[in-house]
């Protein structure tokens, strides 16, 4: 289990490190060729991890799936959108909750298999890979946005 917890910790640390020092005004810039903003990516990573691993005890507001779920985009946002600062705080808090998943749950079958994944351990692996993908997107967007501002 230590390697699983390490993967979750390293990936979340990499995500938060990637956004350090970005001017807050640039978090909502949507560069040409991208469907979303850095602000959206943060909410999406948070929401996806919550839905895949913590759904039964979710601590996120119900509207997060609408704001940040698969296929969502900032252009369609309505209502109360959480700030980047709140999302960063929630990403920290969520990591603590992810690290509390007991080792014996890794082989537990989930109620809803997805893309061939059936166990909690497989979903944790997916969440780590998913987060890595979004860190790459954020990195590319950050470079593009900062080169134009």
pLDDT at 1: 61
> What is the distance of C-alpha 33 from the center of its chain?
21
pLDDT at 132: 97
pLDDT at 4: 87
CB distance 11 to 128 below 8 Å = yes
pLDDT at 77: 95
pLDDT at 113: 86
pLDDT at 12: 97
- Return averaged pLDDT per consecutive 10 residues of the chain, 149 residues in all: 88 96 94 95 97 88 94 93 97 96 91 90 95 97 89
How are beta strands 117-119 and 109-114 bridged, if at all?
A: antiparallel
Q: What letter does residue 24 receive in the DSSP assignment?
A: G
Prediction pTM value: 0.95
Q: How far is Cα 144 from Cα 138, in angstroms, rounded to an integer?
A: 10
């Amino acid at each position: 289990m230590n390697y699983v917890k390490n993967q979750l910790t390293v990936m979340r640390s990499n995500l938060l490190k990637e956004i350090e020092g970005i001017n807050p005004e640039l978090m909502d810039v949507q560069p040409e060729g991208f469907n979303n903003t850095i602000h959206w990516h943060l909410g999406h990573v948070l929401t996806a991890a919550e839905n895949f691993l913590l759904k039964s005890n979710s601590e996120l507001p119900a509207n997060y799936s609408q704001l940040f779920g698969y296929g969502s985009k900032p252009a369609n946002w309505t209502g109360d959108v959480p700030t980047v600062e709140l999302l960063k705080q929630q990403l920290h808090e969520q990591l603590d909750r992810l690290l509390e998943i007991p080792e014996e749950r890794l082989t537990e079958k989930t109620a809803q298999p997805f893309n061939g994944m059936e166990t909690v351990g497989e979903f944790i692996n997916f969440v780590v890979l998913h987060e890595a993908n979004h860190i790459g997107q954020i990195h590319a967007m950050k470079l593009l946005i900062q080169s134009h501002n």
